[in-house]
Amino acid sequence: MTNGTTIQPFERGDMFAGATLLNDPKDDHAGPGRILQYDGNLEPKGVLWLRGTTHLVGGLTFGPDGNLWAFDSNSHSVVRVSPEGLQLPKIDFPPRSFSNVNFGPDGSLYLGEHLVGDKITLPPERPLKTTLSKVPGTAQFGFGHVYKCDRRGNLIKEYATATNGGMPGFLGVTSATLAPDGKTLVYVSELGGHVYRYDLEADRQLPDLVTFDPASGDRSITVRYGPDGRLFFVRANFRTGFVLQILNSGGTVQKSYELADKGWASIGPSIDPKFVFLGNFFTGTIGKFDLGKGEIVAKAETGVQRSLAGLAQYPGRAA
């Protein structure tokens, strides 16, 4: 679907959100993919309707070349959008449920596999209302691994990253972020009890950055490094609420912010260190969060519940 595309050439500070139009009565994760464009104060600017996606589009991030990356893990689609607002030709990456990418200092891409295993462990009263794709030729949804590829899509290396499936049993590397050292990947399995670390250079699992006591009810949601090297983390507890935290390199909480509502599941690091952007999956709300005031100072509504799955702010073209 391309009719109605109004996206404008990117300007420094523009915010982008993956907010698929969920309109399939038989599948609550399916519908036309779209990326919404806002200015830095979350005033609407445009929309890009995507080609080649079928389900939730998320994992938005900007590459060093200024292109915006996004993912539909269920259709194994990797989307790239140029700063002119044009969807770029498809790259043939390995057919996996990728949902995030990090850019290595040598130009390599580290793609995280969203799904893992072959079982769904949701209780009967909460059935999964979508169909999960499988790795071609297997019965697996995925392996929960990280894949190093070149920019043409060729696989260089596969890392056997540890995952735990999260509460539903099938969630792998659902968000990942590369540390400032350029070799340590910090990642989570959404709704699991860990913040994992992996040494990409040595190809080995490191001790967890954070491990929660299962009895606490605490769950990992998402994790992102900001441009200034701060590590942002959203922790969920469905009894006590959602919390935005800033962690140091040892996993110690440097700052913690209680969030007013449940459902905050996306982090969009800001080019202005005074702010961070947050996305609420339950409501479709985007919030510009003032780290000094500890509150949301601007909001935008995407208009679709359980669709908002990624945020990124355009840093401008490299000098």
Give the residue from 65, 75, 67 showing the smallest Cα distance to 99: 75
In the predicted structure, residue 2 carries a pLDDT above the cut 60: no
Residue 8 lies in a domain: no
Q: How many domains does the chain have?
A: 1
What is the per-residue pLDDT across 249-264, written as a single tens digit (0 to 9) for each? 999 999 999 999 999 9
**What per-residue confidence (pLDDT) applies to 70?**
98
The length of the chain, given as a count of residues: 319
Q: What is the mean pLDDT of residues 132-139?
A: 98
Residue 169 lies in a domain: yes
In the predicted structure, residue 1 carries a pLDDT above the cut 60: no
For residues 200 and 183, is the Cβ–Cβ distance under 8 A? yes
Output the average pLDDT for the chain. Answer: 97
Residue 318 lies in a domain: no
Range of the domain at 73: 60-271
Residue 229 lies in a domain: yes
Residue 138 lies in a domain: yes
Entry pTM = 0.97
Give the residue from 207, 154, 145 showing the smallest Cα distance to 176: 145
Query: What percentage of the chain reaches a pLDDT higher than 90?
Result: 97
**What per-residue confidence (pLDDT) applies to 317?**
82
**What per-residue confidence (pLDDT) applies to 37?**
98
What is the per-residue pLDDT across 153-168, written as a single tens digit (0 to 9) for each? 999 999 999 999 999 9
In the predicted structure, residue 319 carries a pLDDT above the cut 70: no
For residues 114 and 73, is the Cβ–Cβ distance under 8 A? yes
Return the amino acid letter for 158.
E
Residue 108 lies in a domain: yes
**What per-residue confidence (pLDDT) applies to 53?**
98
For residue 289, how far is the Cα from the chain centroid?
A: 18
Residue with tokens 């891409």: 109
For residues 162 and 205, is the Cβ–Cβ distance under 8 A? yes
**What per-residue confidence (pLDDT) applies to 19?**
98
**What per-residue confidence (pLDDT) applies to 318?**
72
As a three-state string, the secondary structure of 45-105 is EEEEECCCCCECCEEEEECCCCCEEEEECCCCEEEEECCCCCECCCCCCCCCCEEEEEECC
Residue 212 lies in a domain: yes
What is the per-residue pLDDT across 18-36, written as a single tens digit (0 to 9) for each? 999 999 999 999 999 999 9
CATH number at 229 reads 2.130.10.10
**What per-residue confidence (pLDDT) applies to 244?**
98
Residue 40 lies in a domain: no
